[in-house]
Amino acid sequence: MTGLRRVAAGVAAAVLVSAVLACPSAGREGGLNVSTIPPAFRDDYALFAQRCSKCHSLSRPLESGIDDDIFWKAYVERMRRQPASGISIADETPILRFLHYYSVDRRRPTPTAGEDGG
């Protein structure tokens, strides 16, 4: 491959990456559409996505089926101790808050109109 062809291939690759990032689905990190997350949990999700995706795909925790807060606490503590994770002690609370929302609260049925909840 000549130098000119390599440059052309590099430019084509850059254009392709730019096009993919411009797609509406680019706002979905690990399969989650951020706009579907309640505003109260979006910052927690952003931190979760940033830290946890450093070492593994986000689908790993999101599709785990785990809904036990004690398990999540132990898991996040173990991940925090991984040097590459970048998870600080202060990061644990927001990450755990998001994981609780995602694995427990999100799955609770919402009351329909007219239900008194009791």
- What pLDDT sits at residue 14? 42
- What pLDDT sits at residue 106? 83
pTM of the model: 0.67
User: What is the mean pLDDT of the segment spanning 17-29?
Assistant: 37
- Residue 41 and residue 22 share a domain: no
Q: Which residue has the higher pLDDT, 72 or 112?
A: 72
Amino acid at position 79, single letter = M
- What pLDDT sits at residue 33? 87
Residue 69 in domain:
yes
- Residue 54 and residue 1 share a domain: no
Domain that holds residue 95: 31-107
- Residue 58 and residue 3 share a domain: no
Query: Which of 10-14, 51-55, 84-88, 105-109 has the least mean pLDDT?
Result: 10-14
Q: Where are the beta strands (DSSP E) in 1-118?
A: 28-29, 32-33
